[in-house]
Amino acid sequence: MTTFALPASAVEAKAPDPTKHVNYTLGMVLGVDDFNQEFAWLSGRDRWLARDAVGYGTLCGLLVSTDNTSAKGPRLMVSSGSALTPRGQLVCVKPDQCAYLNDWLAANKAAIPGLVGSPLASTLSLYLTLCYRDCPTDPLPIPGEPCRSEDELLQPSRRVDDFALELRTTPPGQEEEDAVVEFVRWLRLVKVGGGGPYTTVDQFAQDVRNAVQAVGSPPASPLTSPLGASGVHFSFGSPLTSAKLDPALLGDYLRAAFRVWIEEIRPRVHALCAGGCACCGDHTTGPAAPDECVLLARVSVPVVNVGAGEWRVDDKKSVEVDDWHRPLLVHLRLLQEWVVSGGWSK
């Protein structure tokens, strides 16, 4: 569901396997499939590196705001910027984008009663998401059978990076993002120093394991994102909160905690391989399909039924934008300057 402009897309017969690359052999005649396969392997490794080593989220810009000055009603504004998606794809939004909320309501009027329930005048929660897309472009004449039409003679010779901004009624899955935020906040509750006896490094690692709760367990954490259930929860009433760490071994404690995260926790919430990170297998298999889009904001839209099944934005109330749960990626240079300057320590 969207009123932002969507790019055109092409349907390929069979997607190449990103885990394979061409084994060049003397005398081998390369064809279209070979070049597509090699590109898939190279681009797949780039996305894999970005996704697993860096993460995903907004990199620059993409400020979400509202504008109420248009005669067509409130519109949602997204500034130019860039992001990394959960699939490791770089997305560039340029120029600034906008969408009229009344246009979205008109295009999706049949679904609105089931979303707002009763009373008919209520607030509708929409989720603004950014997705990567690409478009075929630069058509060239392609040799082939005679007696073809002009459309059949021309085929796109390039694919250009593009994007799609969508207003959804459900948020994109971001279990790993929610788990990262909760895990770090939870670790910060641990007491450092204050006199012994101190918790051993091995016991601390076991406390980290014991505090992880799977979905379905009553979540004791008050930090669980309201956008959806995370793949795991962390028990804030666990023995970890009563642990005391030896300041001289702080690096060892952090190493142990990060090791548990990498080996045992992250595979359970990873967007691409939750349920098993078999790199030579199909990353899209698992209990739920991975969401390839990035959340930009939750938009609370006050709506009113104006009759005949038509809905409009209630001009007596304000449209609210909540981007608190948007995944963010701070670039390395900023983090470096923060660390070398001492952070909050000064």
Nearest Cα to Cα of residue 171 among 55, 59, 74, 296: 296
Among the residue ranges 185-189, 203-207, 237-241, 286-290, the one predicted with the least confidence is 286-290
Which pLDDT value is given to residue 140?
84
DSSP 112-156: HHHHH-SSSSEEEEEEEEEEEEEEEEEEEE----SS--HHHHEEE
- Segment 267-296 shows an average pLDDT of 62
In this structure, the number of other CB atoms found within 10 A of the CB of residue 60 comes to 13
- Tens digits of residue pLDDT in 294-319: 999 999 999 988 888 889 999 889 99
Beta strand 90-93 with 81-84 is antiparallel
Q: 299 versus 113: which is more confidently predicted?
A: 299
For the entire predicted model, the pTM comes to: 0.81
